[in-house]
Structure 1
Amino acid sequence: MTLDIITSPDLDGTTHGFFTRRGGASSGVFAGLNCGYGSSDQHDIVSINRARVAEAMHVAPDHLVGVHQIHSADAVIADGPQDQHPKADAIVTATKGVALSILTADCQPVLFADTKAGVIGAAHAGWKGALNGVLERTVQQMEALGAKAANISAVIGPCISQPAYEVGPDFMEQFIAVDPIYNRFFVAGNDDRYHFDLPGFGLMKLRECGISRASWTHHCTYADPARFYSYRRTVHKKEADYGRLIAAITI
């Protein structure tokens, strides 16, 4: 099956894509393009899926690089293939021929590019990373390589949308404790529940970094099981595990 790749005109000048689950070799609950070695899927099958992504990105499989994601605010610089994945949640480079990748299954995959400076980045921004500064740190690391925030374009890919993201009052209080204005990203749900606007929060954070071209693809991972894996949907369906989507960018 042909790979299904979502792209954005905001990242023109790069080879990039938010890959859906279509076109992969995995089966069962992972059916499709599961790219997460951290899942219980067969390692060899995940390698096949990742090789298909690398081919689509026009790089060798070992030049599709990433990080060991831990929901942190840490961003690292890559200049080539890695022997090990550093623990972080964002990665940047100015090296041509290297494809940066991020895995998600409801969290925000964010791809960055300053094509004038030849600097790109990729971030995994769940609620914790976004609140603690992973997007700001990604921009800082890109600037360390010569990028300028005003020249950076950033695109948030498929992630969980506000209607599907139900949270409790303790969750909301963590945001309001940082800044009371963050209450605008919550709407009341049933009983004491709220619904959190993760991509809306991410867009605000990107614009606060000085990025004028920031957008979201408007795809909800939870709402479209045919195209996307979703951690929260898996929990609600009481499935044993879930696949990981990949987003990648290269110059």
Structure 2
Amino acid sequence: MAGTRHGFLGRQGGVSGGIYASLNCGLGSGDDQAAVRENRARAVAAVAPGAALVTLHQVHSPTVVTVTEPFADDARPRADGMATATPGLALAILAADCAPVLFADVKAGVIGAAHAGWRPALSGVLSATVEAMVALGARRERIAAAIGPTIGRRSYEVDDGFRDRFLADDDAHDDFFAAGRAGHWQFDLEGFIVRRLAGAGLTTIAALGLDTYADAERWFSYRRTTHAGEADYGRQISMIAL
């Protein structure tokens, strides 16, 4: 993605403490809001100095918005993908096991970002983000996509009902489920996203292969927090700017 400013940030380098230590950028967490805002400012300064941060009220949907100016924190649209051709905007995704996906057609000057947990990935947020970029002048064969840190297959146990949702959409999705203990499967979210992106016409796709659950020092993880019985969890931020 040369020609853009982008990055997948972890949990180091912020000012939050306790279970949020330290670069928690999630406004929806129970962390001190002043600390979260300082962390978000540090993240922008590290990746895209001078850019205006744009985030969404993520709701695990296929909804995508086109962005021309930043939103107030209390007026963020309920959506999980966005696209822009406006320089100076840093499109950012918050996640803690779900996959942040960043997109760019550098020649057209169009970028995008998507929050791709299993629900939005299955329901079409990735293709919808591509379509929003195409509407701004991007060409799908030029769009590059990068998949950031997300929960890995070895850490992502699901039940039969979860798998059945995917098979109801397409029997070929069985490729992403490895048999586990009785009635359970290990799901490859990253691999599923790669196929969805390829199905949307993209040919340049990078997957980082970083498991958020498995590395507590580097990444926040909703599932790890749940298993540990903790009350809340931080969110890491990923962003891209022209």
TM-score strictly above 0.5: yes
Aligned residues: 240
Given the alignment of the two structures, is residue 155 of structure 1 paired with residue 146 of structure 2, yes or no?
Answer: yes
Contact 1:75–1:91 (8 Å) recurs in 2: yes
Number of the residue aligned with 2:130: 139
Number of the residue aligned with 1:42: 32
CA shift digits 1:165-213 (9 cap, x unpaired) = 0000000000000111111100000111100000000000000111000
Distance 2:90 2:230 in 1: 32
Given the alignment of the two structures, is residue 128 of structure 1 paired with residue 119 of structure 2, yes or no?
Answer: yes
Number of the residue aligned with 1:107: 98
Q: Return structure 1 stretches of 4+ with deviation > 6 angstroms.
A: none
Give the TM-score normalised by structure 1: 0.94
Given the alignment of the two structures, is residue 90 of structure 1 paired with residue 81 of structure 2, yes or no?
Answer: yes
Contact 1:59–1:99 (8 Å) recurs in 2: no
Number of the residue aligned with 2:194: 203
Distance 1:73 1:60 in 2: 30
Q: What letter is aligned with 2:161?
A: D
Distance 1:167 1:209 in 2: 26
Distance 1:15 1:191 in 2: 45
Contact 1:94–1:119 (8 Å) recurs in 2: yes
Distance 1:116 1:248 in 2: 19
Unaligned stretches of 5+ residues in structure 2: none
Q: What letter is aligned with 1:12?
A: A
Number of the residue aligned with 1:81: 70
- The DSSP-based 3-state class of the residue aligned with 2:141 is helix
Distance 1:59 1:92 in 2: 20
Deviation at 1:60, TM superposition (A): 4.1
Contact 2:101–2:113 (8 Å) recurs in 1: yes
Q: What letter is aligned with 1:249?
A: I
Number of the residue aligned with 2:16: 26
CA shift digits 1:95-121 (9 cap, x unpaired) = 001100000000010000000100000
Give the TM-score normalised by structure 2: 0.98
Given the alignment of the two structures, is residue 172 of structure 1 paired with residue 163 of structure 2, yes or no?
Answer: yes
- The DSSP-based 3-state class of the residue aligned with 1:151 is coil
- The DSSP-based 3-state class of the residue aligned with 1:149 is coil
Contact 2:6–2:48 (8 Å) recurs in 1: no
Distance 2:84 2:46 in 1: 19
Distance 1:206 1:99 in 2: 22
CA shift digits 1:197-248 (9 cap, x unpaired) = 0000000000011100012111110000000000000000001100001000
Query: Once superposed, what is the RMSD of the aligned Cα atoms?
Result: 0.8
